[in-house]
Each structure stands twice: as structure tokens, then as C-alpha cells.
Chains A and B, each alone.
Chain A
């Protein structure tokens, strides 16, 4: 039925619970941006953003109606049964159309209007300032400088405009090196560990093939090494399995030959590629989506999906990076193939272990803005924002969030934010409601004029800060433990139920410690402010003596 207000509605739809035999009846509404199910008995509603929908499947007709299964990128799975097949087909085909936007302009961010004026929106975008972030790290300094070589995205179109390089690295060296690196992604600074003057740099793989050399690339690495007086060598971390790197040589790519570069220590750390990760998550979701799953099948499935093994590999790599920098005081150059997936994971997770600032809410936003958004993690491709190549889709950023969650579980007092913050970021990486994650790189974002036409997620999250605070956070803890040293013995890694079953209510603890603590805190704050209000009254009458029971 078509309504004047621009939505379609279908009555007498049943929503089945995925893991029990429960179901609720209601009405399904399809609007321009959402699919909404309203329960008839309670008026409770379930609202699904079109961008969140990964797939829609229409199953064969049953006696009770026509089943429609919708899988979402935030791991929500809904199972509707629509009484009339024609209604089901209408919804199905409408969703298929809405599911595959072909241009960015169709994304929700361009129509989302939170009732802010231009100034407020502008302020939202100014919240995170990467120039200020490098200053906080102590850069520029006597060894590192800002270069304008990529001012017009000429040297590397997937890098940001502002890049930091060793003071001794001249423009010809940089340009020469960029020609020797996949997609022009030459080595640049991403984190500076001031205490030891050690640098974390990132790049893509060298185009070395079996024997090619590039003197400029060699001198750029030399310059990185020289910029750190604490160590006589620089680590080069290739985050790929050795076999993959070897295979790349046949395609004219590959890895650094230790004989050609003076003072490097080369190391593989063996994180699998985007295709392995995609398949692994698919397997995991398949296993945990099974009804009446028994414990053995669950554990066997968890193992054979390999998911936790991959998570552990990323954390292990970050620990290697952190130790090299903080203990040995060595600079490290991190790369993988293109330097925008595994490299982003390892650099950002390493920085999170090294620097307590990134464990605050603001700092975490800065970290994502720097290592993921500005350095060109391909959010559009990896998160399937537009109808694109399914082989480019991969849960790389989700893995990063999970690694952070695993750390928050091991260090309950070290993070300012709770897991709800991570879940909310994950939600919006896929919602396309805010401009931050649209597109694949900064250049593209500028072309899309996102700052002018969309809103920033960071400002929204900051305005809701109270909801995401970790009540156990202790800044004092971080003073004593500025660098985190997690254990990666396998038993420390857990299945992240709140992520992968976020919407399956029957899976969750029925009561939450976090919520209880937050309520208690709010109550006590209220009591405190009442107290202060009472104390501020001059010469209070006897009945409001603050020491009396209120």
C-alpha cells in the first residue's frame, strides 16, 4: 500500500526470534532511509537503516507466509514472515533497489539533518585536528618535519596532504621512494615516541621484484634510521605472512632485501590478507547463527573459523611494534601490501598500547582519524558503501575494534571508554549517516565536500560522552602503566558476544554491572549536587542540615 507520506507499509508481519520459537506480530514500514517493524501489542519498534543491510533473502513460501531474511552489517539478523507473497516480493524488490546505492550522493549522510546550524556543524568537524596531534607528539622537531610534497595529492593520492618525514629526506628522495612503493605510499611518520625519540613509520610494499633496487628508498630508510640516535638500526615489519610476500615478488612487488638497506632489521609477522579475514568472519557468523548450537560444535566452529587466531596475530604484531619502540628505543617501519589494512591495524593498535592518550575518548577518535581515515583505509570498499566489488569487502576495521575490546577486557582500568563506544563507532562506520568514513581517502572526501555537506560522527559521540564512559577508568593507572603489556596466551581472547550478537537479546546477561555502576554514580552525583545546593544556601534552616538524612 502506498502512502502519501512516502512510505510503504505491510500489516500482519511476524518477526521471528533467531534463537527461540518466539515471534511477535506487527507492521512493517519501508521509508526512504529505514525499514521499521512496529509490534502491534506494545508499539515497540525495530528500525533498520538501509545502509546497514548487507543482504536480503526471500525464502520459499510456507503455510504461514513468505519468509524474508535480512542480514545486517552490524550483525543484526532479522527473520520476517509476511503473510501475502506479493507484499513480500514488493518489499524484497524495493530493498534490493535501495541496498545498492551507486553514487555517494545517495548515502544517508547527505540527507541526514540533526537540526544543527552551519556553525555547529563546522565546529563538529574542527573537533579533531591532526596537526595539533602531531604537535602533541612533539613533531615537528629537530629530526622530523612537515613536508608539502603531497600538497596537491600529486605524489600519493591515497595519502593526506600533510605528511611528516625526516628532516634529511629531500623532495627528490621522497618522490624517488614513492615511485618504488605500491600506490606511491612511501614511508612517512605516523607516531613519535617522544621519550626515546623513536618513530613509527608506515608505507606500502617496495616494488622490488626479485632484484630491483631504489637508492632514494634506501636513503629514505637511512634518514629514518639516522633520525633516531637511540638505535643503530630501524626495524622493518612486514605484517604479511612470508609466503604472501614471496609470491608478490613475482608480480614485481615484494619486500626489502636486507643486503641493500643498511641498518635495517627485517621481520615478518604473519597477519593474513583481507580475503582470509572475510572468509573467517563468514565462517564465524555461520557457526554462531546455528540454532540450538551445542558447546562442542560452538568451540570447534570457533576454532575452525580461525577468527580468534587472526585477532591474536594482530595483537601480537602490535606488541612486537610496541616493544621495539618503547623497550629498545628503535624506530619501526610497518608495511603490508598497500599499507592501508594490516598496516593501519598494527600502527594504531601499537600506538594505543604505547600512549595513554589514545585510550581516552578524544584520543581514540584522533587515532582513528589519523591511522585509518587520513592514511586512506578504504572504508568505502571494505565496508561496501556503494555497490562495488564484493572481493574488496573485508572486516579489517571491525577486527581493529575487536582487538581494542580484547585489551579493554584485559585492562579494565586503562580505558576511558566502555565497549559501547566501540560498538557505536562500528555502527556508524556502516550507517553512512555521518561523513567521516565515506569514501576511500582524503582526496575523495574533499571532492565530495563532506565537511560542507555532512555532519561529523565525532561531535555526535562527544555530545553523548556520558553514555560511553568506563566507570572503572583510572587516569592514575595509566600514569603507573603508560605502556600496556597484554598477554596474548590464547586463553586471554574471548568471543565478543556484544558485537556479534548485539541484537540477539536472549544471548546476553540479563543484568549489567556497567549500567548498575553508572546508575549508582549518577545517584551519588545527584546527591552531591543536592548537597552543594543546600550548602550554598546561607544560614540554612535547621531542617535542611546536610548531615541529616535526606
Chain B
């Protein structure tokens, strides 16, 4: 792929850059295959802006006379303006940005070219895997086994090669179960609760269809899960009406008669396009500079974003309650099992399991529950809230999860080992990144493109000594207890650090966070001296 064919004008002098939190500056603009580069030419200052083109969500151009202004709206919520002399240059630049920012081929993306001097491609890729998790959880081994039935991805294209399933379920049975579940996503273990031996499994919906088809192997597998215990719960992330309707299109739910030991609980969670539209409305509201309180509150309400946060946290709370307080195993699914399912299983694990709350533990959790479990990042994060492109598979589920984690972090500021900065960094990286971690839609796709061989791993990079401090919570005090969030609307807040991150006020709060870090380090030294 030649990037140069898309770059008619590579350099422009005398460009004025206007960006949030900085005074306007005049300098040289340069477009490369992956970046927009701006360097200030004022004497004595060497301010530069290096922006990954992939980070650009929308480009708007306005020509007046012989010059033009390009407005760039980024996926990290930054809005930049470039005043470019020369109409033709302006149009060329805008065209290059538009084209290069949404090129399709994954193999041509920047992570395959990014070669920082302090990282080596020989480094270990990733932090966790199903195999590793299984080997750490010795208590599992009696009743659960590691299956490599999916080693060539033929049973379930979106699952990793290794999965954890009940001991007495053989691979042939699994293949049959996979045929009965959408996308082949058969029930597999994702969490083992050490305190009481209960587990969380996730899957996609069963394909019962209008004829109420059954699958003995599926029933057998689930029976094997609760073996010895009186019942299990199924948390369906759709309303019962939605689940009923799904039967018309071949989907369905686990009926009481076929799964007599499983109790279904329905919690309707927003998904897909509706969630994307919610984000679009919220981002629009946050960009509204008018001084009208009623309008702001009404737009905030109308976006429904905080309602989605509330629902996600309370559903995750329900899941955790079933496991931790009620002492039962739970199967979670919605329809495809790649979005809201992962959202609530992640949050529930954070609520219950102190191991997930360290910096490494949290990153490993994200790796298992999102990257390896097949959340289709490429589709979901193709565009942010500004893009004029027609919506396809975009949906900010991952961002919603980070928002919920932030709410947890606010309510338990000492219990989580990572900082808000980490959540902000992850929110940015999911949409545009130097690293290969969030590329592609599944393990299989990443394998085919050689992502692990040819790109660097974000999670490893975040744990480098230089970065680690910044992403750690200076007030972290591990607790073994579950951290039950309050989901009263009065207890939840707009994630200002993200949605208003380019405002002066967010900067003030960031400075205060920095201040905390410095004080804690200072006092720590004193207490040790």
C-alpha cells in the first residue's frame, strides 16, 4: 500500500493551529502516511503536535477567499482548527486526512510500523490467557478442564483457542453445543470465585427458534456446571420480551422446562446502535457552550448515557450478588455474547475479586474478557461520536465499561490499584493506537495478521517502569472485601475527566490528582525515613 498516492500536499508553511487549552500558534503542517504533524516556528519554543490520523473522527473544511480552515474532531474528544493559506493546499490536506484516517486494511495500520526504541518485538506479548488462568486456579482442576477444541477456530470463530469447560463434557459434545449457540459461543467459564467455588460462564443466546428447539448436550453442559448445587442463575441482558422476540429470528432463551435448575433473570441493557446514538448525543451536549442550565440537564437526560451506566452497574451488582451473596453459579448472555455480556462479567469480577483490582490484574482482566473473548473492537470502535459516516457496527460498549469502572473508582478510591489516567488512556487507545492490542475483531483475525509478532502490546507497555507510576493509584490499599457500588442516580456522575477532558476545569482536577500523588510520595518517604 502506498500512502503517498493520497498525499498531494505533504507540507504547508504558515498554518495557524488552534487547539483547546493552548494559545493559537503558527507553524508548519506536515502529513505523513499515519500522522499529522504540526511544529511551531516561534523562536525559542518547540511545540509540536503529533496526531495519529487514525484518531481523527471527522474533518470539516471551510474555504473563504484564498485560504481555508479545517476543523478536526478527534476520537479522544479534542477539536482542532487549522487555518491553511491557499485554497488548493487546504483541499489537498483535508482530502488526505479524510482518506488516510479511515483506510481499511489492518495490516497497513500504524501499529505495524511503530518501533519505539525501548520496546522489542521479542518481548512477551500480553499478560494473561485462558491457559494461564486455568493453571493458576488449581481449585478448578477437579471439575473443570481446559479444552483445545477451538484450536483452529472452527468451533467458534470469535473464541480463543483454549476454553475452560466442565470436566465431564467432551469435545464432541462441545461441537454440538456450539451449533446450538449463536456464533458458536458455547457456555465457557470466565471466572472462578475462590471464596465459595461458584463460577461465571458466558455464552451467546441459544438458537431455540420459533419451534423451541432443544439441545441435550447444551442442557447436559449446564447441568454439569451446577453439579451438586441446587440451582444456577442465567442473567439475560435482554428484557424477557426481547428474548421472546429473538425466537422469531432463530435465537431464543433457556426455557424453564428444559433447564429446570436454572433461574432466568432478565435485565434489559442497551446495545448496538442505540448505545452509539446515546454517546453521540452526550458528546454533542458536552460541546454545547450555551449558558442554559435547563438545556444542559435536559440534553444530559435525553442522551440516556447515565441511565446506561446505572443499568450496567446494577446488572453487574446483581450478577455479583448471585455469586458472592447467594452462592450460585451464573451464566451470562444477551444475543451475540460479545458486548453487554462482557461488560457485566468484567464489572462483576471487579466488584468481587481483589485480584482484578490491581493494575496488572485489571489489564489482564481486560485482556481475557475483551480482547481474547472476542469483543469486535475493530467494528465497535471504527468511529467515535463526530463521524458523518453512516453507522454500521459502531457501539461504545468498551467505553461504557470504562465509565462504569470510573464510577467504581470514585466510590472506592482506595480499593483500585490503578488511576483515572489509565482509564482515560484505555479509552483513547481503543479508538486509535500505536499498539496492536485493540486491532481486529477476534483472536483468529489477530493471529492471521501476525499481530503478536509484528506489533507491540499496549498492556506490556503500560507496565513499563516509566509509565507504571502514572497509571497506579497512589492511595491504593488492597481489600479482600467485595466493593458494592451504590447505583442511586445521586451516587453516579458524569465522567468529566473523559467527556470534558479538554476543558480548563478538567485540567485543574488533573493538577489536584497530581498533587495527591506528590503528597503521598512525599509523606511515604517521611514515614519511612
Name which of A294, A510, A513 has the most chain B CB atoms within 10 A of its CB.
A510
For residues 504 through 524 of chain B, which have their beta carbon under 8 Å from a beta carbon of chain A? 504-505, 508-509, 511-512, 515-516, 519-520, 522-524
Q: B454 at interface (Cβ–Cβ under 8 A)?
A: no
Q: Which residue of A lies closest to B413 (CB)?
A: A513
Cα–Cα, bound, A316→B411 (Å): 31
A519 nearest CB across to chain B (Å)? 10
Q: B13 at interface (Cβ–Cβ under 8 A)?
A: no
Residue from the list A413, A471, A507, A528 in contact with B490, Cβ < 8 A? A507
User: Is the beta-carbon distance between A299 and B297 smaller than 8 angstroms?
Assistant: yes
User: Is the beta-carbon distance between B486 and A507 smaller than 8 angstroms?
Assistant: yes
Cα–Cα, bound, A302→B411 (Å): 22
A312 nearest CB across to chain B (Å)? 5
User: Is the beta-carbon distance between B526 and A488 smaller than 8 angstroms?
Assistant: no
Q: B291 at interface (Cβ–Cβ under 8 A)?
A: yes
Residue from the list A297, A306, A316, A507 in contact with B491, Cβ < 8 A? A507
In the complex, which residues of chain A have a beta carbon less than 8 angstroms from the beta carbon of B413? 509, 511-513, 516
Q: B503 at interface (Cβ–Cβ under 8 A)?
A: yes
In the complex, which residues of chain B have a beta carbon less than 8 angstroms from the beta carbon of A294? 307, 310, 489
Q: B190 at interface (Cβ–Cβ under 8 A)?
A: no
User: Is the beta-carbon distance between A295 and B489 smaller than 8 angstroms?
Assistant: yes
Cα–Cα, bound, A507→B523 (Å): 31
A151 nearest CB across to chain B (Å)? 45
User: Is the beta-carbon distance between B415 and A511 smaller than 8 angstroms?
Assistant: yes
User: Is the beta-carbon distance between B292 and A490 smaller than 8 angstroms?
Assistant: yes
B274 nearest CB across to chain A (Å)? 15
Q: A94 at interface (Cβ–Cβ under 8 A)?
A: no
In the complex, which residues of chain A have a beta carbon less than 8 angstroms from the beta carbon of B448? none
In the complex, which residues of chain A have a beta carbon less than 8 angstroms from the beta carbon of B490? 288, 293, 298, 495, 497, 501, 507
Q: B267 at interface (Cβ–Cβ under 8 A)?
A: no
User: Is the beta-carbon distance between A507 and B301 smaller than 8 angstroms?
Assistant: no
Q: B483 at interface (Cβ–Cβ under 8 A)?
A: yes
User: Is the beta-carbon distance between B529 and A413 smaller than 8 angstroms?
Assistant: no
In the complex, which residues of chain B have a beta carbon less than 8 angstroms from the beta carbon of A508? 486, 491
In the complex, which residues of chain B have a beta carbon less than 8 angstroms from the beta carbon of A303? 293-294, 297-298, 301
Name which of A508, A511, A549 has the most chain B CB atoms within 10 A of its CB.
A511
B82 nearest CB across to chain A (Å)? 25
B144 nearest CB across to chain A (Å)? 33
Take A294-B310, A507-B491, A549-B528 as given contacts and tell me if A517 and B519 are in contact as well, using a CB distance cutoff of 8 Å: yes
Q: Which size bracket describes the interface of A in this complex?
A: 35 or more
User: Is the beta-carbon distance between B489 and A298 smaller than 8 angstroms?
Assistant: yes
Q: B300 at interface (Cβ–Cβ under 8 A)?
A: yes
In the complex, which residues of chain B have a beta carbon less than 8 angstroms from the beta carbon of A547? 529
User: Is the beta-carbon distance between A412 and B494 smaller than 8 angstroms?
Assistant: no
Q: Which residue of A lies closest to B509 (CB)?
A: A412
Question: Could you give, for residues 395-419 of chain A, a 1 whenever the CB lies within 8 Å of some chain B CB and a 0 otherwise?
Answer: 0000000000000001111000000
Take A300-B301, A309-B294, A410-B505 as given contacts and tell me if A511 and B414 are in contact as well, using a CB distance cutoff of 8 Å: yes
Known interface pairs A302-B297, A524-B524; 16 further A-B residue pairs with C-beta atoms within 8 A, sorted by A's residue number:
A309-B293, A309-B294, A312-B291, A410-B508, A412-B515, A413-B515, A487-B503, A497-B491, A506-B486, A507-B491, A510-B411, A510-B483, A520-B475, A523-B527, A527-B526, A528-B526
Interface residue ranges, B against A (CB under 8 Å): 286, 289, 291-298, 300-301, 304, 306-307, 309-310, 410-415, 475, 477, 483-484, 486, 488-494, 496, 500, 503-505, 508-509, 511-512, 515-516, 519-520, 522-524, 526-529
4 closest cross-chain pairs (CB), A and B:
A490-B296, A524-B523, A298-B489, A299-B301
Interface residue ranges, A against B (CB under 8 Å): 19, 288, 293-300, 302-303, 306, 308-309, 312, 316, 410-413, 471-472, 474, 487-495, 497, 501, 506-513, 516-517, 520-521, 523-524, 527-528, 531, 546-547, 549
Chosen A-B contacts, 24 in total, with CB atoms closer than 8 Å, are A295-B301, A295-B306, A295-B310, A297-B489, A299-B489, A300-B298, A303-B294, A303-B301, A306-B294, A309-B294, A410-B505, A412-B512, A471-B519, A487-B504, A487-B505, A490-B297, A491-B286, A491-B500, A492-B505, A509-B491, A512-B413, A516-B475, A520-B520, A520-B524
